[in-house]
C-alpha cells in the first residue's frame, strides 16, 4: 500500500475533479490519498464544494469516505448537506456508525434525514442512536449472522451462498442462533458448520450457553470481557435476553482510544474534550475561557499569600525572582506525580483508598528530587546575590515544597476519584493552587524568620 | 459476566490458596477477579509468593494470567521466576506476546529461558523478538491457517477437523495459501471453502493478489491500512514475499493506545514514558529529575528577566504578586493551544507548514480571551491597590501575553515536528519559558513606562 508523496493542496485537486464531473478520476485520486489527507481536504473545501464532491461520488463510496473522517467532522458535514444526499450516504453506513452520527446530529437535521430513509432502516437507526455511545448498545453492530436454531446446516449454507454479497463485510466466524422469540440460544462456529452433516439441525453443532453481554454493559466492563476472552466479537442481548447486536473487540478498543484522546484535551483545559480549529471562534474561545476563568481565580487566591508578605519582599526584592520559579517547579514535580497516579488508577495498580502507600512512595522521590533541586537553586541564589542565607531560604523552600507537591500530586487523583469527581480534569488546578500557596508561604515565611541575615 | 465486590486484599487470598496448595480454588478465585485486581494482587505479592502462585497454576492458566498483565509487570515477574517455570509459561503464550516479553527481558534472562524451551519454538520466538515492537513484524502472530495452494478443499477441511483444538483461538475467517517457497499466493475465505466442491484444489476458490503488508510496515501505515479496509487481519510478508505472519486489527489498535499512554506520561515529564510505583525509588527519581533539571534551568533563564527590573519592582512591590499569576495563566492558555495543535497534527487536520493558518485561528481566540482575562485581573488589581494604572499595567500585560502564549502554543508543535523533534515532549517546556520571559518583560516594562503613575 504505497502512500503517495504529499500533495500540497489535495482539496484543490478534489475540487478540480468535481468541477470536471470526473467521478472515476475523483475516486481514483481519493483511493491513493491517506486518510489524514482526506480529512484535511474535506475540512478545507467550502460547503458547496464538499457537497459537490459527495454528490459526484457513488453513495457507497461517499459513505466509506465519511466513515473514515473523525466523528465531529462527519457530523458537521452531514448537517450542511441537503437532507436527501445525507440520507443516501447515511443509509450506506454500518449500523453503529449510522447510530453514532444520528445521535450527534441536531434533532431537526436528524429528523429531516431519517424521514428520507427507508422507514425500517430509519426506525432501527433511531433505536440504536438512543443508546449511549459508550455502552454495548452504542458500540454494537446489527450486521451479523443470525439464524433460527431449527434450521438445518444445509439451509444455513444456502443462505450464506445467496447473501454472499450482503455478508461481505460481516464477521462470519460465528453465527448466532435464536429461538422463536429472538432469544439468543447458541453460537455456531463456521468451522463446525463446515464439518457438519448437512441435513441435521444446526442446534446440534452449536455452543450452548454462549458468553453474551447486556446492551447496558459499560465500556470498562466490555474491555474486561475482551481482555479475558479471545473472541473477536460478543453477542449483545437486551433485558429479555433477545439478541440485539454484536459488539466487536475493535469497537471497544477504538472507543477507549477516543476516550483517552478526549481525556487528554480535558486535562489540558479544553472543556468538552474536543476542539479543532475549524470550529467557530466563539465556541473555541468560550470553551477555553471556561477553564481559564476558574484558573485565574485560583491563581489570585494563591498569589494573595504573597500580598501578605509585602514587607519582607520589599526588604529582599531578590525573592521576587524566585517566587515564579518555585511555583513553576512545584507544579512540574506535582504533575509528574499526578500523571503516575492517574496511570496507576486506570491500570488498577492502586486503589482509591491507598493514601498511605502512595504517599510513602512519593515522599521518597520528593525527598531525593527536593534535595537535588533545592541545592541547585540555592547555589544559583548564593552566587547571584553573594548571600548564602538567600540560598538557604530559596533552597529550603523549594526542597520542602517539592515534597509537598509530589505528596499532593500523588494523592489528589485518589481523593477526587473517591468523591466521584473526574481526577483527570480537576487534579491539575487543585494541585497548582495548593502548591503555589504553600511554596509562596515557605519562601516568604522562612525569609521573614531570617530577615536580619538577608538584608 | 458479574464483576465481584471489591475484595480488600486479593493478594492475601491468593497467598492463602497457594499455601493450602488448592489449585482449583485458586483458579476459581482468579476467574472471578477483574483484570485490574489481578494486576494489583500480583504486584503486591512478594517474589516468593508470586512464584508459588504461578507454580501452582496450570502452565496454560499461568500464561493467560501473565498475558493480561501490563507488559512491564509481566517482564518483571518473568525475570524473577526460576527459568524453567518462566520457560513453561512463555511456551504457552501467543507468538506475539512471547516475542514482546522476550524482547524486553534482560539478554541473560532471555537466553536462560530460551535455552529451556523447545528449540524450534525458541528459534521462532527469538526471530520474532528481533522485530521492533511497533512494526508489522512485532505486532503479527504466527498462529494462523496456512496451506499449500495445491491442496484440495477436502484436505483443508480434514486438517481443520484434526487440529480443531490447536486452532481454537485462531481467527479462522481466512486461510492463507502459499506456494512451495512459502510465498503468499492467495487468501481463502472460510465461507468459500464451505461452498466449495471438495475434490477441487483450493486455489480455485482463493482471492488472488490479496492485500498484504511488509514486516517493516510501521504502526501508522498499518493503522491506515485497517482504516481503509474492513479486514480483521492482514497477512505479513518479508522482503522475498514469503508469508511470515498475520497482523490483527486489534493488535494495531492496542499498540496505538499504548503509545498514547506513553506519550501522555512523557508530556507530563516522565522520561521514558513509563512509571509505576513498584519500580525502584532511584529509577523513578532519576527519570523525573532528568526532566525537572531541564525545567529548572529554563525557569531560571525566564526569571532572569525579573532580575533586570528590580528597581521597578522595588518601587511597586504589588507587581510581585501578579508575576506568578501572569506566568501561570499564560502557561494555561498556551497549553490549550499546544493540545489542540498536537491533536490536529495527529488527525492530519493541519500540516507542519501551515503556520499562517494556525496563527490566524489562535490569534482570534487569544484576542478574545486575552481581553476577558485582562479586564478581570485589571479590576482585581485596581480594587486591591486603589490604583487604576496598576490595573492597566497588569491587565494589558496579561492580555498581550495571552495572545503571545496561544500563538507560541499553537505554532511550537508544528515547528518541532518540522525539525523532527517529538512535539509531545518538547512543546511544554519551550512554551512556558518563552511565555514567562515575555510575560515578565511585558508587566515590568509597561510598569517602568508608567512608573510615575504607579508610585
pLDDT in tens, A203-245: 999 999 999 999 999 998 999 898 888 788 999 999 999 999 9
Q: Is B390 helix (H, G, I), strand (E, B) or coil?
A: helix
Flag if B288 and A232 touch (Cβ within 8 Å). no
Predicted pLDDT of residue B423: 87
Quote the pLDDT of residue B7.
67
Q: What is the pLDDT of residues B13-38, one digit of tens each?
A: 999 999 999 999 999 999 888 888 89
Mean pLDDT of B223-239: 89
Angle between helices B281-307 and A319-347 (to 10 degrees): 150
Closest CA to A428 of A358, A350, A331: A331
What are φ and ψ of residue B201, in 5° steps?
Answer: -65, 140
- pLDDT above 60 for B3: no
What three-state secondary structure class fits A145?
strand
Chain A: closest CA distance from residue B74 (Å): 13
State whether residue B201 is helix, strand or coil: strand
Nearest chain B CA: its distance from A417 CA (Å): 16
Interface test with B, best of A288, A293, A318, A399 (most B CBs within 10 A): A288
What's the pLDDT band for B182 if we cut at 50, 70, 90? very high
Chain B positions in Cβ-Cβ contact with residue A432 (cut-off 8 Å):
328
Residues of chain B positioned with their CB less than 8 A from the CB of A293? 372-373, 376
Residue A31: partners with Cβ closer than 8 Å, 6 or more residues away: none
Nearest by Cα to A332 from B296, B330, B326: B296
> Strand order of the sheet with strand A213-214?
A213-214, A233-237, A243-248
Retrieve residue A207's grid coordinates: 455452543
Contact yes or no for A141/A248 (Cβ under 8 A): yes
Short-list B320, B452, B436, CA closest to A316: B320
- What pLDDT does residue A378 have? 97
The listed CATH number (3.10.580.10, 3.30.230.10, 3.40.50.620, 2.70.70.10) that belongs to domain A145-257: 3.10.580.10
Order the strands of the B145-148 sheet from edge to edge. B145-148, B174-178, B184-189, B207-208
The torsion angles phi and psi of A172, rounded to 5 degrees, stand at -105, 25
- Phi first, then psi: give them for residue B242, nearest 5 degrees: -80, 135
B-chain residues near A375 (CB < 8 A): none
pLDDT (tens place) for every residue of chain A, 455 residues total: 334 445 678 899 999 999 999 999 999 999 888 888 898 899 899 989 999 999 999 999 999 999 988 888 899 899 999 999 999 999 999 888 898 899 889 999 999 999 999 998 898 888 899 898 889 999 999 999 999 999 999 999 999 988 988 887 787 789 999 999 999 999 998 888 888 888 999 999 999 999 999 999 999 899 989 888 878 899 999 999 999 999 998 889 888 888 888 888 888 888 888 888 888 899 999 999 999 999 999 999 999 999 999 999 999 999 999 999 999 999 999 999 999 999 899 888 898 889 999 999 999 999 999 999 999 999 999 999 999 999 999 999 999 999 999 999 999 999 999 999 888 888 999 999 999 999 999 999 999 999 999 98
Out of B160, B260, B362, closest to residue A191 by CB: B160
The whole-angstrom separation of Cα B367 and Cα A78 is 31
Q: How far is CA A71 from the centre of its chain?
A: 12
Residue A371, judged by CB atoms within 10 A of its CB (0-12, 13-18, 19+), counts as: middle
Of B3-17, B278-292, B313-327, the poorest mean pLDDT is in B3-17
Within 8 A by CB and 6+ apart from A369, the residues are: A333, A402, A406, B285, B288, B289, B292
CA distance A184 to B455: 82
Give SS3 for A17.
helix
Q: Which of A317, A323, A410, A429 to mutate to test the interface with B (most CBs of B within 10 A)?
A: A317
What nine digits make up the cell of B274? 513509563
Q: What are the grid coordinates assigned to A269, written together?
A: 483545559
Contacts with B257 (C-beta within 8 Å, 6 or more apart), sequence order: A253, A256, A257, A260
Cβ distance of A36 and B336 shorter than 8 Å: no
Measured torsion, CA atoms of residues B313, B318, B322, B323, in degrees rounded to the nearest 10 = 20
Tell me how close the Cα of A271 comes to any Cα of chain B, in angstroms: 10
Residue of A nearest to B163 (CA): A191
Option in A277, A314, A373 nearest B344 (CB): A277
Q: Residue A335 has what pLDDT?
A: 94
The 3-class SS string of A20-36 reads: CCCHHHHHHHHHCCCHH
C-alpha span between A420 and A424 (Å, rounded): 11
CB contact under 8 Å between A303 and B296, yes or no, is no
> What pLDDT shows up at residue B442?
97
What one-character DSSP code corresponds to residue B218?
B
- Taking the C-alpha atoms of residue B76 and residue B57, their distance in angstroms, rounded to an integer, is 19
- Asked if B176 and B148 touch (Cβ cutoff 8 Å), the reply is no
Per-residue pLDDT at B241 exceeds 60: yes
Asked whether residue B191 carries a pLDDT value surpassing 70, the answer given is: yes
Exposed, middle or buried: residue B24 (CB in 10 Å: 0-12, 13-18, 19+)? exposed
Are A376 and B227 within 8 A, CB to CB?
Answer: no
Contact A377, A330 (CB under 8 A): no
- Is ipTM > 0.90 here? no
CB-CB: which of A230, A232, A339 is closest to B232? A232
As a dihedral over the C-alpha atoms of residue B259, residue B264, residue B270, residue B272, rounded to 10 degrees, the angle is 10
Of A39, A327, A364, the CB nearest to B324: A327
Nearest to B328 among A172, A380, A432 (CB): A432
Inter-chain residue contact A340 with B300, CB threshold 8 Å: no
Among the partner residues A37, A254, A303, nearest to B348 by beta-carbon distance = A37
Tell me the C-alpha distance between B455 and B453, whole Å: 6
Q: What chain B residue is nearest to A349 in terms of C-alpha separation?
A: B40
**Do A194 and B195 count as a contact with CB atoms less than 8 A apart?**
no
Q: Which of B248, B17, B21 is nearest to B138 (CA)?
A: B248
Q: How far does B37 lie from chain A, in Å, by closest CA? A: 6
- B236-252 mean pLDDT: 94
Which of A423, A47, A14, A333 is closest to B284 using CA atoms?
A333
Domain extents in chain A:
10-134, 145-257, 281-454
Radius of gyration of chain B (CA): 30
Confidence bin at B2 (pLDDT 50/70/90)? very low
Q: How far is CA B439 from CA A157, B324, B433, in A?
A: 73, 10, 10
DSSP state of A200: S
Query: Which residues, 6 or more positions from A16, have their beta carbon under 8 angstroms from its beta carbon?
Result: none
Cβ pair B106, B129 in contact under 8 A: no
User: What CATH number has the domain spanning A10-134?
Assistant: 1.25.60.10
Report which secondary-structure segment, H or E, holds B83: helix B83-91
> Would B10-138 and B281-454 be classified into the same CATH topology?
no
Alpha-carbon distances of B206 from A101, B191, B246, B249, rounded to whole Å: 36, 11, 17, 22
What are the distances in angstroms from CA B310 to CA A323, B314, B317, B441?
14, 6, 10, 12
Q: What are the residues whose beta carbons fall under 8 Å from the beta carbon of A25, sequence distance 6 or more?
A: A17
Interface A-B: count of C-beta contacts within 8 A? 336
Is the predicted pLDDT of residue B206 greater than 80, yes or no? Answer: yes
Distance from CA of A68 to the nearest CA of B (A): 7
pLDDT at B336: 95
Which residue of B264, B358, B369 is in closest CB contact with A277? B358
Mind giving me the DSSP string for B252-291?
HHHHHHHHHHHHHHHHTT-TTS---TTS-HHHHHHHHHHH
**Are A428 and A298 a contacting pair, CB within 8 Å?**
no
Q: Does the beta-carbon distance from B276 to A324 stay under 8 Å?
A: no
Per the CB < 8 Å rule, is B436 touching A328?
A: yes
CB atoms within 10 A of CB B251: 23
User: For residue A430, what are the contacts with CB-CB under 8 A and spacing of at least 6?
Assistant: A408, A412, A416
Nearest residue in B to A173, CA atom: B173
CB atoms within 10 A of CB B272: 12
We find that the CATH architecture of domain B281-454 is Orthogonal Bundle (1.10)
User: What is the sign of the dihedral through the CA atoms of B65, B70, B71 and B77?
Assistant: negative
A353, closest residue in chain B (CA to CA): B8
Contact at 8 Å (CB) between B51 and B81? yes
Residue with cell 548564593: A382
Q: Which CATH superfamily is domain B10-138 in?
A: MgtE N-terminal domain-like (1.25.60.10)
Amino acid at each position: 500500500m504505497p502512500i503517495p508523496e504529499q500533495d500540497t493542496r489535495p482539496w484543490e485537486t478534489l475540487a478540480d475533479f468535481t468541477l470536471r464531473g470526473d467521478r472515476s478520476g475523483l475516486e481514483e485520486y481519493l483511493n491513493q490519498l491517506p486518510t489524514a489527507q482526506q480529512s484535511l481536504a474535506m475540512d478545507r473545501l467550502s460547503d458547496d464544494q464538499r457537497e459537490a464532491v459527495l454528490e459526484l461520488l457513488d453513495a457507497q463510496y461517499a459513505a466509506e469516505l465519511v466513515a473514515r473522517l473523525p466523528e465531529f467532522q462527519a457530523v458537521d458535514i452531514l448537517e450542511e448537506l441537503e437532507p436527501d444526499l445525507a440520507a443516501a450516504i447515511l443509509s450506506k453506513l454500518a449500523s453503529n456508525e449510522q447510530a453514532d452520527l444520528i445521535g450527534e446530529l441536531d434533532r431537526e437535521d436528524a429528523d429531516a434525514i431519517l424521514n428520507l430513509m427507508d422507514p425500517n432502516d430509519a426506525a432501527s437507526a433511531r433505536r440504536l442512536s438512543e443508546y449511549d455511545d459508550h455502552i454495548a448498545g452504542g458500540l454494537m453492530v446489527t450486521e451479523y449472522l443470525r439464524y433460527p436454531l431449527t434450521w438445518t446446516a444445509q439451509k444455513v449454507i444456502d443462505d450464506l451462498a445467496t447473501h454472499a454479497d450482503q455478508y461481505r463485510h460481516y464477521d462470519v466466524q460465528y453465527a448466532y442462533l435464536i429461538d422463536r422469540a429472538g432469544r439468543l440460544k447458541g453460537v455456531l462456529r463456521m468451522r463446525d458448520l463446515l464439518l457438519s452433516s448437512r441435513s441435521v439441525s444446526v442446534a446440534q453443532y452449536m455452543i450452548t450457553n454462549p458468553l453474551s453481554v447486556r446492551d447496558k454493559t459499560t465500556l470498562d466492563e466490555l474491555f474486561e470481557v475482551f481482555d479475558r476472552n479471545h473472541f473477536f466479537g460478543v453477542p449483545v442481548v437486551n433485558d429479555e435476553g433477545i439478541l440485539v447486536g454484536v459488539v466487536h473487540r475493535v469497537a471497544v478498543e477504538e472507543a477507549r482510544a477516543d476516550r483517552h484522546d478526549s481525556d487528554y484535551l480535558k486535562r489540558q483545559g479544553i472543556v468538552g474534550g474536543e476542539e479543532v480549529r475549524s470550529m467557530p471562534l466563539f465556541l473555541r474561545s468560550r470553551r477555553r475561557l471556561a477553564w481559564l476563568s476558574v484558573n485565574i481565580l485560583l491563581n489570585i487566591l494563591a498569589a494573595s499569600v504573597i500580598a501578605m508578605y509585602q514587607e519582607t519582599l520589599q526588604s529582599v526584592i531578590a525573592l521576587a525572582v524566585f517566587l515564579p520559579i518555585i511555583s513553576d517547579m512545584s507544579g512540574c514535580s506535582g504533575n509528574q506525580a499526578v500523571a503516575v497516579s492517574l496511570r496507576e488508577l486506570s491500570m488498577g495498580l492502586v486503589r482509591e483508598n491507598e493514601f498511605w502507600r502512595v504517599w510513602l512512595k512519593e515522599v521518597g522521590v520528593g525527598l531525593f528530587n527536593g534535595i537535588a533541586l533545592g541545592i541547585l537553586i540555592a547555589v544559583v541564589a548564593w552566587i547571584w546575590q553573594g548571600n548564602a542565607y538567600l540560598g538557604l531560604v530559596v533552597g529550603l523552600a523549594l526542597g520542602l515544597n517539592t515534597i509537598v507537591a509530589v505528596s499532593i500530586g500523588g494523592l489528589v487523583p485518589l481523593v477526587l476519584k473517591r468523591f466521584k469527581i473526574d481526577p483527570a480534569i480537576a487534579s491539575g488546578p487543585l494541585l497548582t493552587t495548593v502548591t503555589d500557596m504553600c511554596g509562596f508561604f515557605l519562601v516568604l515565611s522562612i525569609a521573614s524568620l531570617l530577615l536580619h541575615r538577608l538584608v
